[in-house]
Amino acid sequence: MIEHPPGAEKIDAVVSRQQVYYQSGETRPVAFRKEQLNKLREAVQRREPELLAALKQDLNKSEQEAYTTEIGIVLKEISTALRGVRRWAKPRKVRTPITHLGASSRIVPEPYGTTLIIGPWNYPVNLILVPLVSAIAAGNTIVVKPSELAPAASKAVASLLRDTFPAEYVAVFEGETSVSTELLKRPFDHIFFTGSPAVGRIVMEAAAKQLIPVTLELGGKSPCIVHKDANIPLAAKRIVFGKLTNAGQTCVAPDYLLVHKEAKPKLMQEIAAAIESFYGKEPIRDPDYGKIVNERHFRRLIGYLDNGKITLGGQYDATALKIAPTLMEDVPSDSPAMREEIFGPILPVLEYDTIEGVLAIVQANPKPLALYVFSESVEFQDLIAERVSFGGGCINDTIVHLGTPYLPFGGVGTSGIGSYHGEYGFKAFSHYKSILKQTNRIDFPFRYPKSKRGLSII
Ligand code: NAD
């Protein structure tokens, strides 16, 4: 039975047991790590129906969406780790300078130890299990705290992990914020947090008290720029896909659109057509269209609707917690819709004339987690990619950069610290220990006090 919230003593006991287990060295052999990854894969595959049902319940995710954005990504991350971990974990020989003649040098990846993963509600399976894969591959023990705002997924993930791993290796604490607060007082060796910049600050402050290293995967306002020479019908489809997956509740969803004024009329038409082709004439009645996670976020989103002129959508259903895909124009730069991360199916549309206009708007906001640019001109693509700082992004697409394990995924500035996915996840959960092995065959006397210059061969 789950206690809400678990007592401080229970957390202490689990963390201490994990520390002892970690110190035993059992989690270190690559063979052990692979065995655990295989167990996790088997459990995720076996419990797929349960996970899909939980995601339907919490966020009305269709099976197709839940598989491609959550379960499939977890399974892909496991197979990438199984393939790569032996190579990633190998000590690496590096050069030694002539000043250290006779010595050899190597870098040895070592697990941090006992780690903490705190996840958000929007991809509640993916954003707990993908970091967990990295932490296991790197050889750590792990405490996991899923988000209380996706309760069915939290329960399904907790039960999957409890049935697969002993608590001294992987433990789960479900519950409210108070559980995270309590966990953050413990002496973890690394904290991996995914969530809002506001809570990221709280996590980093708590970590700073004990000098615990952190990875922070946060959010922000991700711009989507459509230039006049873009392939407009394709851009429209890809923007709608990235914006309406999980009803806009995606950290890397296009937050606002910056469109060249010559391309705007056609883009607006094509976006309307793409929405209709994906979700019909009345998206809020479509059974596969996502719902807003809860009443509080629903009200917050409705609040944006009077920040500008609605040119498409604007309908909502308070009982089903659904908001139609909505385009808004004339949204002032100081309105909440242009200052806060929207995190829903509402898309402010701003137009520009010159590149300076684009940069002025984008640079008025903190560094975003993602940026998208649609253009046929390599010069324009490169100009945006070089002049703007952002976590990661796509040229001529949206959100799909997070589906490749070969690109580090993470933010910059207020959108995050550190990155993960594939080998980058392994690195996030590892310390790279430097070892210089000295020779005893020669010894330079001149480095010692009061010595005369010269080389002594022993
Ligand atoms: P959140 O920051 O409110 O909550 C995240 C987690 O922190 C939850 O488990 C919650 O229980 C815990 N938490 C909340 N308040 C806390 C406190 N005061 N002290 C300690 N822990 C606390 O975020 P959310 O609403 O679940 O998710 C939405 C945000 O997450 C958006 O900003 C989004 O952009 C971001 N996000 C980022 C990524 C990414 O990969 N960079 C992915 C998904 C979501």
Residue 305: is it exposed, middle or buried by C-beta count within 10 angstroms (0-12/13-18/19+)?
middle
Distance CA(86)–CA(440), nearest Å, equals 32
| pLDDT tens profile 299-343 | 999 999 999 999 999 999 999 999 999 999 999 999 999 999 999
| pLDDT tens profile 117-144 | 999 999 999 999 999 999 999 999 999 9
More confident residue, 4 or 83: 83
The CA 367 to ligand 1 mean position distance, Å, reads 18
Ligand 1 pocket member 147 (CB < 6 A): yes
Q: Is the pLDDT of residue 457 over 70?
A: no
Which of 24-48 are b and which e, b meaning 16 or more Cβ less than 10 Å from the residue's Cβ? eeebbeeeebbebbeebbebbeebb
Annotated catalytic, 50?
no
Whether 340 and 192 map to the same domain: the answer is no
CATH of the domain at 132: 3.40.605.10
Which residue among the candidates 168, 182, 217, 423 is catalytic per the annotation?
A: 217
pTM of the model: 0.95
| pLDDT tens profile 247-264 | 999 999 999 999 999 999
- By most ligand atoms within 8 Å of CB, the mutation choice from 73, 116, 122, 125 for ligand 1 is 122
Whether 239 and 199 map to the same domain: the answer is no
Range in 2-6, 105-109, 165-169 the model is least confident about: 2-6
Ligand 1 pocket member 127 (CB < 6 A): yes
Ligand 1 pocket member 392 (CB < 6 A): no
Whether 186 and 201 map to the same domain: the answer is yes
Give the type of residue at 224: C
Give the type of residue at 189: D
180 inside domain: yes
- Atom from ligand 1 closest to the CA of residue 410: 41
Q: What is the per-residue pLDDT for 205?
A: 98
Residue of the nearest CA to atom 9 in ligand 1? 147
Q: What angle do CA 100, 101, 102 make, to 5 degrees?
A: 115
Q: What is the per-residue pLDDT for 456?
A: 58
Q: What is the per-residue pLDDT for 95?
A: 98
Q: Is the pLDDT of residue 452 over 90?
A: no
The CA 74 to ligand 1 mean position distance, Å, reads 19
Q: Is the pLDDT of residue 1 over 90?
A: no
| pLDDT tens profile 213-251 | 999 999 999 999 999 999 999 999 999 999 999 999 999
455 inside domain: no
Whether 191 and 119 map to the same domain: the answer is yes
Whether 208 and 93 map to the same domain: the answer is yes
Mean pLDDT of the chain: 96
Whether 243 and 120 map to the same domain: the answer is no
* Residues 125 and 55 sit within 8 Å (Cβ to Cβ): yes
For 312, the 3-state DSSP assignment is: strand
Residue of the nearest CA to atom 40 in ligand 1? 217
Whether 425 and 296 map to the same domain: the answer is no
Token output for 8? 């401080």
445 inside domain: no
Range in 106-115, 131-140, 166-175, 351-360 the model is least confident about: 351-360
Radius of gyration of the chain measured on its C-alpha atoms: 25
CATH of the domain at 379: 3.40.309.10
For 391, the 3-state DSSP assignment is: coil
Whether 240 and 171 map to the same domain: the answer is no
Annotated catalytic, 394?
no
Q: Is the pLDDT of residue 33 over 60?
A: yes
Give the type of residue at 390: F
Looking at 24-62, list the stretches that DSSP marks H as alpha helix, in order from N- to C-terminal side.
Answer: 30-46, 48-59
The CA 273 to ligand 1 mean position distance, Å, reads 33
Place of tokens 């092995």: 437
- By most ligand atoms within 8 Å of CB, the mutation choice from 128, 157, 180 for ligand 1 is 180
Cα maximum dimension of the chain: 89
The CA 198 to ligand 1 mean position distance, Å, reads 8
Ligand 1 pocket member 181 (CB < 6 A): yes
Number of domains in the chain: 2
Whether 251 and 319 map to the same domain: the answer is yes
* Residues 244 and 272 sit within 8 Å (Cβ to Cβ): no
Q: What is the per-residue pLDDT for 331?
A: 97
| pLDDT tens profile 62-71 | 999 999 999 9
Where does a domain end: 360, 379, 402?
A: 402
| pLDDT tens profile 348-369 | 999 999 999 999 999 888 999 9
114 inside domain: yes
The CA 195 to ligand 1 mean position distance, Å, reads 3
211 inside domain: yes
Q: Is the pLDDT of residue 2 over 70?
A: no
Q: What is the per-residue pLDDT for 7?
A: 80
* Residues 429 and 142 sit within 8 Å (Cβ to Cβ): no
Which residue among the candidates 251, 341, 394, 423 is catalytic per the annotation?
A: 251
| pLDDT tens profile 402-449 | 999 999 999 999 999 999 999 999 999 999 999 999 999 999 888 899
Q: What is the ipTM of this complex?
A: 0.96
Ligand 1 pocket member 122 (CB < 6 A): yes
- Atom from ligand 1 closest to the CA of residue 199: 2
Report the residue count for the chain. Answer: 458
Whether 431 and 313 map to the same domain: the answer is no
Whether 390 and 425 map to the same domain: the answer is no
Q: Which domain holds residue 49?
A: 8-218+416-435
Whether 198 and 314 map to the same domain: the answer is no
The CA 219 to ligand 1 mean position distance, Å, reads 9
